[in-house]
Structure 1
Amino acid sequence: MNNPGTVLMVLSDLSQMEIECEVDESDIVDLEIEQFAEINVDAFGDTIFEGHVVEISNAGRTSGMGTQEEVTNFKVKVAFDKTDSRLRPGMSSSVDIISSRRDSVLKVPIQCVVERGEEEEKKAGIFVVVDGKAHFREVKTGISSETEIEIKEGVEEEEMVVSGPYSVLSKLKDGDDVKTKKPSRKKGKGKKGEDEEEKSGKSSGGRRKKVKIGR
């Protein structure tokens, strides 16, 4: 015999699957209802499912309060646009929410953008190669992906820009000599300590800013 109010079973509607994830407070301001999302379910390998944001929490939840690991996250629900009969509640997954998109923008590898100036007056810029020398030029940036960043002002298409590891670019000064390699739209594999030059150019597809959601 069951007592009144006892739950005997829970029936799940597998025709409308959703993912509940947590988004850091620094990224939550970029999210909106109906934004496109790419969903990866561990059990399906590299298969990407499409979805969209259906709910964004108004209140954050803080964990690790008073410690170095203190973080504030907001719950976000993402619905699958099309479900798969093999999907099951409780499966591990990760989500990329596309919070912004630009088409045919001027872009460079993200490591090309560096900061110069005093601590309170630092300016973002790129080293442009002119006559074998690096010249720092202030730029205005836009959205970025994990590997590339949009340049709104400061650099023209097809100009040669300096790319390389942070350990090298952090020491590069205006007017320093640089060794020019054959221009390439793909990131080259230079030896450690070498500068590399790449051409700035417009992307053929859209630039997308992603909010990465962990499991």
Structure 2
Amino acid sequence: MKSVGAWVKRHPIWSGLILLVVALIVYQTLKPKTYDYVYVSEPVTRGEVVRKVTASGKLRALNTIKVGAEVSGQVSRVAVDFNTPVRAGQVLAEIDPTRLRARVEQARAQVATAEAALATANAAAGRAASDVGIQQREFERARQLAGRGFTSQAALDAAGGSLATAQASRRSSTAQIATARAQIVQARAELSSAMLDLSRTRIVAPTSGVVINRLVEPGSTVAASFQTPNLFEIAADTSRMQVETSVDEADIGEVQTGQEVSFTVDAYPRDRFKAVVRQIRKAAVETNNVVSYLVILDVDNKDGKLLPGMTANVEIVTGRIASALRVPTTALRFRPKVGDRPKSVPPKGSEAVYVAGAEPYKPARRIVTTGLAGEDFVEVRSGLKAGDKVLVRTRSTAPKQDDDEDENAGEAGGE
């Protein structure tokens, strides 16, 4: 100690510098640590937890009927327009019937010709029957005379030949009658077909509804040679509609018939409409290596606000708990700064949340058991109680940053 004191006396400047450095080291070691962030917490509450599957789809009428033309020709008149209410049997359009009317008249003439041929055949059959009777009596008379020796065998043979000719003529006339009757049946069938085609020049509504699409204009020509051309689309009943939505294969396992659905459309962004899952179609649809399944939703549209073709942004409720102990979903993803984390490691497979401790930067870890997980909240079955403060994010307090600007929700990752 005497030597140290002597050295200090000999070197006062160096001694002062060393003392100052030591004082600075002690101050830096003992002064309170400053932070440029704070933890933000939210309380554990009781309330509703809802799990949803989101998707998008199109609104369709429950029964959309495509009305086409079964005959070819030029459209002479269109009687309806878009959004026109129609009744079953109402005329929608007409095709020029001139050609088909001529065909009907031709078929009627063929029927008349066939009936005249039948009358002629009947008359010929009457004459043939009369001839057969006359020749039958002549042959019997010749046979009796030949038996008594009053006439020759040649005369008997001639009478027999005349009888055979008359009988052949009668058979021929009978065949002509059958042919004439068949021609009548054929002509009448052609007349019926022509009249049917003529009636089809008037395109009528097969059911009551609303015209939602018109694909024809007056003066246009339709050709029904190979397939029926579609002229109109009629929505049979727009008071009830359906949404056809595609659900990803990762979510389809949670969707079941009867689940409640809510959706919005761009036309009414502030309105939320209700629907119910009616059908889950098992045929997979693959688009760009993404597999999805078509889900059909029933929609009540009594007010008529929804229109076919609208895009629906769908939320299918796959789970709901009315009064659950819950925490924000961000609490399960939140991790404190590395230096603030507790040293213990949570059990494998468990969920960990962090609650505010006695020291602001020393949060306490809580191991919790979770249940239904929704988009905003997660059900907590054990490990927390109502009123506990769980950490959900950090907020920067650095001078150059706005106090309300948030950093990432802690440091994500494993423990």
User: Which of 121, 134, 140 lines up with 2:369 in the alignment?
Assistant: 140
User: Which of 79, 97, 100 lines up with 2:319 in the alignment?
Assistant: 100
CA separation in 2, counterparts of 1:140 and 1:81? 40
| Residue matched to 2:382 | 153
Please give the per-residue CA displacement for 1:1-21, whole angstroms capped at 9, x wherever unaligned: 152751343211212211101
| Residue matched to 1:15 | 239
Evaluate the alpha carbon distance shift between residue 44 and residue 194 of structure 1 in structure 2; reply closer, same or farther with a 3 A threshold: closer
What is the SS of the residue equivalent to 2:364? Answer: strand
What is the SS of the residue equivalent to 2:254? Answer: coil
Please give the per-residue CA displacement for 1:37-94, whole angstroms capped at 9, x wherever unaligned: 11211111211111111111113222213xxxxx211111111134431321111221
> Cα offset for 1:190?
5.6
Do the aligned residues in 2 keep the contact of 1:114 with 1:124 (CA within 8 Å)?
no
What is the SS of the residue equivalent to 2:270? Answer: coil
Do the aligned residues in 1 keep the contact of 2:393 with 2:408 (CA within 8 Å)?
yes
Letter in 1 for 2:261: A
Give the TM-score normalised by the residue count of structure 2.
0.37
Do the aligned residues in 2 keep the contact of 1:126 with 1:162 (CA within 8 Å)?
yes
User: Which of 65, 81, 87 lines up with 2:300 in the alignment?
Assistant: 81
| Residue matched to 1:3 | 224
CA separation in 2, counterparts of 1:194 and 1:91? 38
Evaluate the alpha carbon distance shift between residue 114 and residue 94 of structure 1 in structure 2; reply closer, same or farther with a 3 A threshold: closer
| Residue matched to 2:354 | 127
**Structure with higher helix content:** 2
CA separation in 2, counterparts of 1:194 and 1:34? 40
Do the aligned residues in 2 keep the contact of 1:52 with 1:81 (CA within 8 Å)?
no
> Cα offset for 1:147?
2.0
Residue 32 (structure 1) aligned with residue 256 (structure 2): yes
Please give the per-residue CA displacement for 1:132-191, whole angstroms capped at 9, x wherever unaligned: 3312222122223322221122211112221215x99xxxxxxxxxxxxxxxxxxxx865
| Residue matched to 2:32 | none
| Residue matched to 1:62 | 286
Do the aligned residues in 1 keep the contact of 2:334 with 2:392 (CA within 8 Å)?
no
CA separation in 2, counterparts of 1:115 and 1:191? 17
How high is the sequence identity, in percent, across the aligned residues?
27
CA separation in 2, counterparts of 1:111 and 1:10? 49
Aligned Cα root-mean-square deviation (Å): 3.0
Aligned length: 168
> Cα offset for 1:114?
3.3
CA separation in 1, counterparts of 2:409 and 2:249? 36
Give the TM-score normalised by the residue count of structure 1.
0.67
Gaps of 5+ in 1: 66-70, 169-188, 197-215
Consecutive aligned runs of 4 or more in structure 1 exceeding 6 Å deviation: 115-118
CA separation in 2, counterparts of 1:23 and 1:49? 19
Gaps of 5+ in 2: 1-71, 73-222, 336-343, 397-402, 411-415
Do the aligned residues in 2 keep the contact of 1:115 with 1:123 (CA within 8 Å)?
no
**Structure with higher strand content:** 1
What is the SS of the residue equivalent to 1:51? Answer: strand
What is the SS of the residue equivalent to 1:55? Answer: strand
Evaluate the alpha carbon distance shift between residue 18 and residue 193 of structure 1 in structure 2; reply closer, same or farther with a 3 A threshold: closer
| Larger CA Rg, structure 1 vs 2 | 2
User: Which of 270, 273, 292 lines up with 1:46 in the alignment?
Assistant: 270
CA separation in 2, counterparts of 1:102 and 1:33? 19
